[in-house]
Amino acid sequence: MKYIRDIKNLNGVKVLMCADFNVPVKDGVIVDNFRLRKITPTILFLRERGAKIILIGHIETPKEHPTLEPVVKYFDNHDIKCTLIKNYRNAYEEIERMKNGDTVMLENIREHPEEKQNDDNFAKQLASLADLYINEAFSVSHRAHVSVSAITKFLPSYAGLLFEKEIENLNSVFKPEHPFLFILGGAKFDTKLPLIEKFINIADKLFIGGALANNFFKESGIEIGKSVVSPMNFNLSRFFNNKKLFFPIDGVLSMDKKSLKNIGELRPEDTMYDAGPKTVEILEREIMNAKHILWNGPLGIYENGFKEPTQSIAKAIARVTAGGARSILGGGDTLATLSDLNMEREFTFISTGGGAMLEYLAKGTLPGVEALENSLI
């Protein structure tokens, strides 16, 4: 894979850079700029070297007419003057007028059905706008779309500064320093089972929390009541006797967060919303003993206000990171936790990827990674 930092001359070079602009927007204002802040150093890197920067990416809000206008305004307000080009077919004249260091952005790439189809003809049209391509969109590189895959057939292709950091830090968990603790929470068991299967052979301890734990409880015959659970049977009995795995031992069973029960004491009418204090205490002890920690997913239904145990874990990981441990974090609700606590800088690395992070950890590659590695230009 080739990296942007290895390019010797960018002065006057037209650079087509793919980034993930899919940030939450409310009333036209971006409410979480994490991903935009993470790609800003790459834009500044290109600008300082005199490149002509052509940004492409997607956004999904608002649903009725998703537009990148709020993203353009964000960059305008952060010292990156950016022009939005509504129709890429009209971009040629605008790009020809660009001066070295200028930045333009093409409107939402997913307005074009060819993007998701990974259409070569669409890729050729986009490629004709630029001299080289940079993938700075790790978080969408698990999708074989034009802007991360087919485009690499038609332009010299490089990984961006953030993309390189994502790969470097996620690769560290494949050969971690020990003791290595993996904390896996959230839901979507079918997407996370491959991680359990892989990291049971790498981690010293693997904690399964959130709704994921309910599948283990259910298949082992433990009553989970009305708690969230994936409907499929995953044949989890092969893990039951593995001493590396551990699970919540108590939980919060009421919306007012006052009712607690030990796992195994739930009734059919009960619903578990979050991990309990005994679970947090055990997990904190494991965190304090770890030298390398990988964490993805909350311990409870974070989006419904069940935040305290997840936040306690974040604080514990921050403490051991300050003491020299390595911490790699990711996932949407995990990022929300760090944003709520204003603790983003207290960990070794925070991945911008959700699904991309999970897939890379499970497979060691992504369609976007393979596209960069196989680019022949």
CA distance 15 to 12: 9
The CA-based angle 7-8-12, given to 5 degrees, is: 90
Confidence (pLDDT) at 332 = 80
What DSSP string runs through 251-276?
A: EE-STTS--EEETT---TT----EE-
- Tell me, what amino acid is at 43? I
Q: Do domains 4-159 and 170-363 have the same CATH topology?
A: yes
Confidence (pLDDT) at 340 = 84
CA distance 58 to 147: 10
Provide the 10 A C-beta neighbour count for residue 241: 7
CA distance 49 to 240: 56
- Which fold is adopted by the domain 4-159? Rossmann fold (3.40.50)
CA 248 to chain CA centroid, nearest Å: 25
- For residue 35, indicate whether it is catalytic: yes
How is the chain split into domains, by residue range?
4-159, 170-363
- Tell me, what amino acid is at 129? L
Helix axes 161-171, 355-363, angle to 10 degrees: 50
Which stretches of the chain drop beneath a pLDDT of 70?
none
The position carrying tokens 């004491």 is 265
Confidence (pLDDT) at 229 = 92
Catalytic residue among 35, 192, 218, 307: 35
Provide the 10 A C-beta neighbour count for residue 316: 19
Confidence (pLDDT) at 256 = 86
CA distance 164 to 170: 10
- For residue 57, indicate whether it is catalytic: no
Q: Please check whether residue 97 is in contact with residue 74, taking contact to mean a CB–CB distance below 8 angstroms.
A: no
The CA-based angle 325-331-334, given to 5 degrees, is: 65
Could you tell me which CATH class the domain 170-363 is placed in?
A: alpha beta
Element (H, E) at 158: strand 157-159
Give the pLDDT confidence of 44-96 residue by residue, as tens digits: 999 999 999 999 999 998 888 899 999 999 999 999 999 999 988 889 999 99
Catalytic residue among 12, 50, 225, 332: 332
Give me the torsion for CA of 312, 342, 62, 300, rounded to 10°.
0
Catalytic residue among 12, 101, 225, 355: 355
CA distance 176 to 338: 23
- For residue 185, indicate whether it is catalytic: no
B/e letters for 131-170, b = 16+ CB within 10 Å, e = fewer, are bbbbbbbbbbbbbbbbbbbbbbbbbbbbbbbbbbbbbebb
Confidence (pLDDT) at 334 = 84
Q: Which of 27, 34, 22 is nearest to 340 (CA)?
A: 34
Confidence (pLDDT) at 126 = 96
Q: Which of 187, 130, 133 is nearest to 157 (CA)?
A: 133
Measured CA to CA in angstroms, residue 144 lies from 116, 123, 289 at distances of: 7, 12, 40
Confidence (pLDDT) at 376 = 77
CA distance 377 to 374: 9
Q: Which of 225, 170, 194, 156 is nearest to 357 (CA)?
A: 170
Catalytic residue among 86, 188, 198, 319: 188
